[in-house]
Amino acid sequence: MTRKFLLVLGFLTTFSSTHACGQTAADIHAKYGKSLEVYSVSEHIWMTPDYASDGQICRMRLYTKRIGENTSYGTHNLPFNELRDFLNVLVPSETRGAKKESFGATATGGGAAWTTYGYESVTFTFTSFFSSRSFEGQTLKRGEYVFPRLQNEPTSNESNSSSNDFDHSSSMSIEIVTVRWNGRKCAGP
């Protein structure tokens, strides 16, 4: 009995250590699929690009870096100044084109808010969540409700873009920003 127990224990130990420690990159790819391209674009921001069939970036998602090489960050929100500075370098104001009519409009629904800054060439969408419990397990759909501009929300008769176009979002708890290049269709799903 003791000998059978030791044989079974030895087999289980060998099997589990080989399985847990012997995984390769090919094993991970086979099980979970192709990994995403993720870039560290600043101290607190990750970026994941999507491409058009010609290889140009068609969409980019920016989100909070929760871990770094030697640091763990406890926030869900993108630091506004860091975000604004990156966006102004990524797509300088002079390359965006004129502002669209609904510039800076906010839509809400499903526990989230989307503020959209639309230009002729590119569209920025800032996503904020009201609380982690309000959207847990839900599929969020953009544009379910559109609220008119608030009285204290700045309106712009200025059609030219500038480096401070996003400043009225500085008090928001921004968790995700999507940048879409208008006229570039992303390849794939």
Looking at per-residue pLDDT, the higher value among 31 and 6 belongs to 31
**60-64, 70-74, 98-102: which range is least confident on average?**
70-74
The DSSP secondary structure of the chain, one letter per residue, reads -HHHHHHHHHHHHHHHHHHHH---HHHHHHHH-SPPP-EE-SSSEEEEEEEBTTS-EEEEEEEE--B-SS-B----SPPHHHHHHHHHHHS-GGGT-SBPTTTTEEEEETTEEEEEEEBSSEEEEEEEES-HHHHTTPPP-TTSEEPPPPTTS------S--TTTTGGGTTS-EEEEEEEETT-PBS--
Q: What is the pLDDT of residues 102-150, one digit of tens each?
A: 898 988 888 888 999 999 999 999 998 876 544 455 555 555 544 444 4
* Domain boundaries, given as residue ranges, for the chain: 36-151+164-181
Residue 4 has a pLDDT of 55
pTM, full prediction: 0.71
Residue 177 has a pLDDT of 94
